[in-house]
Structure 1
Amino acid sequence: MALNRREFLGASVAATGALSTPAVLAEGRGKPRVVIIGGGAGGATAARYIAKDSNGAIDVTLIEPSRVYFSCFFSNLYLGGLKAIDEIGHTYGDLAANYGINVIHDWAIGVDRADKTVTLAGGSVLPYDKLILAPGIDFVEGSVAGWDISAQNRMPHAYKAGSQSELLRAQIEAMPQGGVYAMVAPPNPFRCPPGPYERISMVAHVLKTTNPAAKIIIADPKPKFSKMALFEEGWAHHYPGMIDWIGEEFGGGLVSVDPDRMTLTIDGDELDVDACNVIPAMKAGRIAELAGVTDGNWAPVNAIDMSSKVDPDVYVLGDASQQGDMPKSGFSANSQAKVCANAVRGALTGSRVFPPRYANTCWSLIAVNDGVKVGATYEATEEKIARVDGFISQTGESGETRQTTYEESESWYAAISADMFH
């Protein structure tokens, strides 16, 4: 059965029903103030739920430099020609109009946790009572030899969706007949564990029709990857002979690139490539580091409410957080945001705080109507967010089951988009 919007919201919003009437605790200076940095699946969801469920008792400011949010989830379907770019683009007007959220399109460039202020590139300094960081990911400098962010136009990462996605798609379409598409896959942990391999599937889907003699090479530093058996089965069925995965055992982690010469070197063997998608190692978005809440790469948080282990008035959501067993995904960030929103609202207004519940599902499309998924439920422990149970698609499933899985993913995308932005 397809997952519809009501089922999605009911399954993942354990902490939003039967709220007590807020009683503002910040006496003498008006409403308590929450500042949220980052308007993706974590930040936008947290802003919406805090504003909506506090009935206006909390002043909510959302800081996001982009006026249009392009979701990384489903961006691979754009690369595969199955979605238009505007189908994965979302704006913030409804958050402002419907819930009174103050949406500021600017860069946050500093956090003073002692004074509890956020500084913006435009010069504004915003005070907060609670700060929520949801900045997504940045890249680890030097993690792929020969590549840095200045090379992203020659060898796109496309792991921040939007113009990078459009650039990579244009490069795929411009490949010569019989050309080579290469991917440098990232080490763990990284945003959306099945994402690179769904991307390979969607690139192969395009090339199968437009450039059937083309080759795809994946240089991977890992010995295995998410949904590996499912992807390999799908590649053999839909794209036989097109895709070569070179894992850790065969030198997939011994990689360098030359963006000017368009070459990829794997364990000493240099290859000429026509399009090269370099996905570097990842870390928390820069503002988390500037706020002093990371361990150098990720931001450790408490499982009960996503609060920083460094500062109880700072929370970190989604990809930037180091929380335990949940993968870095849009579904995870949305789930974490609801738990965090409930905890923040309770701390600031005295409303009821519900026990946390976390869930995640990651869908991937291998070919048209051939969808697979993996997911789990989680609980908060003293040490981390811990996996309770899970599920995964099976090899050899019927075409009907795979089509139903894909349709379920479409329903989820519509639901989470509404849950974030409307």
Structure 2
Amino acid sequence: MGLARRHFMISVACAGAALAAPAVHGRARAKVVVVGGGAGGASVARKIAIDAAGQIDVTLVEPNARHTTCYFSNLYLGGLRSFESLQHGYDGLTRAGVDVVPDFAAAIDREQRRVVLAGGGHLPYDRLVVAPGIDFVDGSVPGWSLEAADRTPHAYKAGPQTLLLAKMIESLPQGGVFAMVAPPEPYRCPPGPYERVSMIAHYLKGKNPTAKIIIIDPKEEFTLQKLFEDAWLKYYDGMIEWIGPDFGSRNLSVSPDAMEISVDGEVMKVDCCNVIPAQRAGKIADLAHLTNQSGWAPVDPFSMRSRLDDRIFVLGDSAQQGDMPKSATSARSQAEVAAATVIGDLTGWEIPEPVYSNACWSALAPGDSVKDGGTYKPADGKIASIEKYVSQADEDAATRAATYQESLDWYHTITAQIFG
């Protein structure tokens, strides 16, 4: 262990011992509040409640009675999965000892160390975990605004937006045009927009085979590009067109009311427009002044502790942490590290060395999926990539079918781990 790492561990141990005094020596147990009940927030709340063995009071603030996963929502759009299969309640967290508060976190009072609830009242904390997911940069696509999301849905927060986009796809006229405006980096689930296109193409191939799909992308290249493009040629030949910067995508504007898109001066009439705008940390992280000029919340790679407040941890999509992609698996991995650190802070228990991993599956067609992922560790002030893997272009049908089944098994496993 290097000198810097030893110094960090000693500093954390000293701070933790001092702040853990109410839990160790006093009558009141230490209090942890978690804001946000997605992959990161639900995971860390449940793990702290279980692993702390009753020594810490854990409260989760989440306004929705059921969480709808954004991961696998593309399979719903493709007709391969029901909407209900994406929804998960919080009874498993309650059974684990988490107090679930159905409310919005309206503010975080860092000086008084309390979360202010929209419904009135507040929750004091010794440690706070902020895991609110993403929000969108209003106006990041010229002509588009948050108010236009009911006409040009992003469906990048699963729930009503997912249902709205599905209805629009189902209502697409025969031979109609579906357009997607892809987001700039960084954003939630790098292969997600392209899996979405694959699944929508699968649906349209059976219901509306003369329909067209146009992707307008600000990026010069995208995640797993060859794998997706090979699949589009194999399964959906002639249906999908990708427009990148070389073809004018940087000169883009949309007109939600007219349902028109202008690309490099050429106006296209479309029948459905899925605008996935630029993203940033969830609003509560910004309100609490936990973000920097990037719009994301910087964290320490050894612990997921906020660099702006050592009593607060930021997990998942909102975190600016380094090389890890924003994904459910990343969020759960980060939750494991943060939970161990929080417990160590408040009980004096040893904090293990952090280990991070990510895995992501992308469906190209029924029975055909690809995957990518990797392992990570703290280095150079960030969570750094140390090993990667990715599906290969020349894989046979049996391998792809096995990967597809692996993705279904993964979804069942990770949602059980998160929600109990």
Superposition TM-score, scaled by structure 2 size: 0.94
Partners of 1:334 and 1:251 lie apart in 2 by 38
**Map of 1:208 onto structure 2:** 205
Task: Give aligned pairs, total.
Answer: 400
> How far apart, CA to CA, are the structure 2 residues paired with 1:211 and 1:241?
13
Find the counterpart in structure 1 of residue 12 from structure 2: none
Mapped to 1, the partners of 2:59 and 2:169 lie a distance apart of 39
Q: Among residues 66, 72, 94, which one is paired with 2:64 in the alignment?
A: 66
Deviation string for 1:134-164 (max 9, x for gaps)? 0000000110111111111111000000111
Between 1 and 2, higher relative CO (CA 8 Å, sep ≥ 6) is seen in 1
The Cα shift of 1:29 comes to 4.8
Could you report, residue by residue, the CA deviation over 1:325-373 in whole angstroms, capped at 9, with x for unpaired residues? 0000000000000010011001101122111000001100000111000
The 5-angstrom pairing of residues 325-336 of structure 1 reads 325-336=323-334
CA distance in 1, matches of 2:239, 2:353: 48
Contact 1:195–1:364 (CA<8 Å) still a contact in 2? yes
In the alignment, is the contact (CA less than 8 A) between 1:208 and 1:239 conserved in 2? yes
- List aligned pairs for 1:77-88, cutoff 5 A: 77-88=75-86
Matched, 1:176 2:173: yes
Please identify, of 146-155 and 190-199, the stretch whose mean Cα deviation from structure 2 is larger.
146-155
The residue matched to 2:39 in structure 1 has which SS? coil
Query: Partners in 2 of 1:327 and 1:300 — Cα distance?
Result: 14
Query: Could you tell me which residue of structure 1 aligns to residue 229 of structure 2?
Result: 232
Residue 381 of structure 1: CA displacement? 2.0
Partner of 1:407: 405
Aligned equivalents of 2:27, 2:288: Cα separation in 1: 25
Cα RMSD (Å) of the superposition?
Answer: 1.2
Trace 1:18-417 onto structure 2 (pairs within 5 A).
25-96=23-94, 98-296=95-293, 297-417=295-415
8 Å Cα contact 1:41/1:330 also seen in 2: yes
Residue aligned with 1:42, SS: helix
Q: Once the two structures are superposed, what CA deviation does each residue of 1:32-52 show, in whole Å capped at 9, x if it has no partner?
A: 000000000000000000000
1-structure distance, mates of 2:250, 2:53: 51
Q: Give the Å deviation of 1:200.
A: 0.2
Partner deviation per Cα, 1:99-134 (whole Å, 9 max, x = no partner): 121101111111111110110100111110001000
| Counterpart code for 1:224 | E
State which drifts further: 189-198 or 59-68. 59-68
Q: Is 2:43–2:419's contact at 8 Å kept on the other side of the alignment?
A: yes
What secondary structure does 1:418 align onto?
A: helix
Mapped contact 2:182–2:275 kept (Cα < 8 A): yes
In structure 1, distance between residues paired with 2:387 and 2:26: 47
How far 1:28 sits from its partner (Å)?
3.0
Give 2:392's aligned amino acid: Q
State the alpha-carbon separation in 2 of the partners of residues 156 and 328 from structure 1. 21
Shift of 1:27: 3.4
SS in 2 for 1:216: strand
Q: Give the whole-Å Cα distance in 1 for the aligned partners of 2:74 and 2:149.
A: 18
Which amino acid counterpart does residue 249 of structure 1 have in structure 2?
D
Deviation at 1:23, TM superposition (A): 9.5
Moved more, 87-96 or 194-203: 87-96
Question: Displacement, 1:25?
Answer: 3.6
Quote how far apart the aligned CAs of 1:24 are.
6.8
Percent sequence identity over aligned pairs: 54
Kindly indicate whether the alpha-carbon contact (under 8 Å) linking 2:139 and 2:146 is maintained by their aligned counterparts in 1. Answer: no
TM-superposed CA distance for 1:413, in Å, is: 0.5
- Structure 2 residue ranges without an equivalent (≥5): 1-19
Q: 2:150, 2:24 → 1: CA distance? A: 48
The one-letter amino acid of 1:386's match is: A
3-state SS of paired residue (2:363): strand
The Cα of 1:26 is off from its aligned counterpart by 5.0
Give the TM-score normalised by the residue count of structure 1: 0.93
After TM superposition, give the deviation of residue 382 of structure 1 in Å. 4.6
Alpha carbons 2:23, 2:55 under 8 Å: kept: no
Whether the 8 Å contact between 2:23 and 2:56 is mirrored in structure 1 is no
Q: Distance in 2 between matches of 1:65 and 1:26?
A: 32
Secondary structure in structure 1 of the residue aligned to 2:254? strand
Secondary structure, aligned partner of 1:270: strand
24 and 398 in structure 1: CA distance in 2 versus 1, 3 angstrom threshold: farther
> Following the alignment from structure 2 to structure 1, what is the Cα–Cα distance between the partners of residues 380 and 193?
32
- Superimposed CA distance per residue, residues 188-220 of structure 1 (whole angstroms, 9 cap, x where no aligned partner): 000000000000000000011111111000000
Report the Cα distance in structure 2 between the residues aligned to 1:83 and 1:162, rounded to whole angstroms. Answer: 14
